[in-house]
Amino acid sequence: MRLQFWISGVWASIHVDVVNYGRGLPGAARAACRQLGWSSGELILGTALNGSTSLVTFDLQLGCRTGLWNSSSVRLLDCLTAPIQGYANWGDGHASDFGVTCFNETNGVRQGAIRLVPDPESGLQGTGALQLWYNGMWGYLQIENWNWAGALAACRELGYTSGSPLMGAVMGAATGPTWYGYVACTGSETKLWDCIVASLENYVWDMRMILDPTDHTYDTGVRCYNDTLPPIGTLRLGRGQRPNEGHLEIFLDTWTVLAVSPYEPAARHYFTQRDALVACSRPYV
């Protein structure tokens, strides 16, 4: 439905800048639907909208992050990133009008839940493509920056202690509705949704729907397994090209990737050559 809001004594259509502020619009759609009494919603733009237009149109620059649109008291205007600008008659024929489809999420399935879709031809236990429950529907996952830390989070959520990432439709191509996005994992997460939320909040990378993808480069899957649990503090190497190199993981109840933020000014002091010598001198699995 086309969305209008009451301002300065009139009902006005909402024009949005899709090119420069498109990433914040899905969150704004959810905020609008929460204000209208629904639990969630999806963005619809322009000519796909139903409902009457208004001769008065206001330009809203909207950018709603996850922490805001998850609030029960959020209002659409809470998502403004700049002052409202008004226009007597917008010249693009309302092609960039802002609209929403609102819905209540299905009881019993939480936003961000995942499930494994095994490849019937492989028969490998704990291995398959990932599907995500998002905005009221299941869809295959395409994560552009899929990595080991994301696979660890997904496998932990699925009940395993460890796992490795699979990409590129190696477990069968994603068909039908597919969620495309990013993750920002630290290696300590126990749910994949925590990695997705971090990417939404920290980088404003929102999930987008692809109805039936033709490019399967980023089809996302996992190979999950259970490790024999070692003593706390045990180190191991992973994702290396040779046996004596790779990223460093430490066991702290679960295997956790040791990471240093490249954006920290003092990052080079957090893990030094001396630390590497100590790590390499310790037994690892």
In a domain, 230, yes or no: no
The answer on 141 and 86 residing in a single domain is: no
In whole angstroms, give the CA distance from residue 4 to residue 6: 7
| pLDDT given for residue 48 in this prediction | 46
Give me the CATH number covering residue 221. Answer: 3.10.250.10
Report pLDDT digits (tens) over 183-239. Answer: 988 888 899 998 988 887 666 566 777 877 888 899 999 999 897 777 778 888 876
Task: Choose the final residue of a domain: 103, 125, 151.
Answer: 103
The answer on 210 and 121 residing in a single domain is: yes
| pLDDT given for residue 278 in this prediction | 84
Residue 102 forms beta bridges with which residues? 41
The answer on 175 and 84 residing in a single domain is: no
Report pLDDT digits (tens) over 100-112. Answer: 888 776 656 777 8
Residue 274: φ, ψ to 5° = -65, -40
Mean pLDDT of each 10-residue bin along the chain, 285 residues long = 82 77 72 86 64 69 67 82 72 71 74 87 84 82 91 94 86 80 88 86 68 86 85 77 77 73 60 81 64
- Pairing type for strands 178-181 and 137-143 reads parallel
The answer on 99 and 142 residing in a single domain is: no
The residue length of the chain stands at 285
- Residue 131 structural domain: 114-225
Task: Choose the final residue of a domain: 103, 130, 164.
Answer: 103
| pLDDT given for residue 8 in this prediction | 81
The answer on 239 and 221 residing in a single domain is: no
In a domain, 144, yes or no: yes
The answer on 88 and 14 residing in a single domain is: yes
Q: How many helices (H) and strands (E) does the chain have?
A: 6, 16
DSSP 264: S
The answer on 220 and 125 residing in a single domain is: yes
The answer on 209 and 240 residing in a single domain is: no
* Domain tally, the chain: 3
| pLDDT given for residue 150 in this prediction | 93
In a domain, 108, yes or no: no
| pLDDT given for residue 160 in this prediction | 94
The answer on 218 and 144 residing in a single domain is: yes
Task: Choose the final residue of a domain: 37, 69, 103.
Answer: 103
Residue 237 forms beta bridges with which residues? 248
The answer on 96 and 13 residing in a single domain is: yes
In a domain, 21, yes or no: yes
Which helix (H) or strand (E) is 86 found in, with range? strand 85-87
In a domain, 241, yes or no: yes
The answer on 54 and 12 residing in a single domain is: yes
In a domain, 221, yes or no: yes
Tokens, residue 130: 């990932």
| pLDDT given for residue 153 in this prediction | 94
In a domain, 192, yes or no: yes
The answer on 119 and 59 residing in a single domain is: no
Q: How many CA atoms lie within 13 A of 236 on its CB side?
A: 16
Report how far apart, in Å, the C-alpha atoms of 255 and of each of 2, 150, 179, 228 are. 48, 12, 27, 11
- CB-CB contact of 184 with 255 (8 Å): no
DSSP 219: B
